[in-house]
Amino acid sequence: MIEKRSPGWLRFLEILAGVLVLAVAFFVLADSAFALTVLAYTLGIGLVIVGLSRIFAGVYGRYFAPWFREINAGGGIIAFVLGIIAIINPQFVIGFLTILVAFALLVVGIVEIVAAGFAKHPPFWVRGLIGVVGVLTVILSVFVILDPSLGQLSLSVTIAIVLVAVGVRDIAHGMTGHGPVKIDPGVITEI
C-alpha cells in the first residue's frame, strides 16, 4: 500500500468547501425558518425539473413502450404540479415535511417498542434500552404532532448536523490530502 497525495489546489478547495459548508450549517441553526424555506424551494425546483424531464421522456421517448411513456408523462405532470405548489407555497411543504417527520418518529417508536417486547436474542437490559428509546420516540412524535414548530426545529437541526458532518469531513480530507491506495503490481502499465 502506498500513499498518494492530492494536489495542493484540490486540498485548498476541499478545505474551503468544508469551511463554507460549516458556515451554512451555523446559518441554518441561527435562522431555521429561512433554512426550511430554502429547503422547500429547493424541493419545489427539483420537482419541476424532474417533472419536465419525465414529461419530455413521455412525449419524445420513441423507444419506450407506450404504457411506459404514459406513466412517465403522468408522473412528470404530478411532479411538476407538486413542484409549482412547493414554489408558490413553501409553508405548505414545511408543514407537510413536519407531519412526515412526526409520523416517521411514531412508526420508529412503535417498531422499537415491539422489538423490545418480542426480541429474544439481545440481553434483557438491551431490550429495556430499546423499549425506553421507543417510548421516548413515540412521546417526541406526539409533541411534534401537537406543536409543529418542534418538528420544524428538528428538521433544521438535522440539516445542520448533516452539514457539520460534511464540512468537517471536507476539511479533514483537505488537510490530510492523502489516503492509502492499494496498487496491484500486475495491473500497473507504462504509459
Question: Could you report the per-residue pLDDT of 6-53, keeping only the tens digit for each?
Answer: 778 888 888 998 899 899 888 888 888 888 888 899 999 999 999 999
Q: Report residue 69 as a C-alpha cell.
A: 411513456
pLDDT value at residue 184: 60
pTM of structure: 0.62
Measured CA distances, 5 to 2, 15, 28, 187 (Å): 10, 15, 33, 20
pLDDT value at residue 185: 60
pLDDT bracket for residue 55 (50, 70, 90): very high
For residue range 85-101, list pLDDT tens digits in order.
999 999 998 888 888 88
Q: Is the pLDDT of residue 179 over 70?
A: no
Q: What is the DSSP letter of 188?
A: -
For residue range 98-157, list pLDDT tens digits in order.
888 889 889 998 999 998 888 777 788 888 888 898 999 899 888 888 888 877 887 788
Burial degree of 127 (CB within 10 A; 0-12, 13-18, 19+): middle
Across the chain, the runs of DSSP E, i.e. the strands, are 2-5, 178-181
Overall average pLDDT of the 160-175 stretch:
85
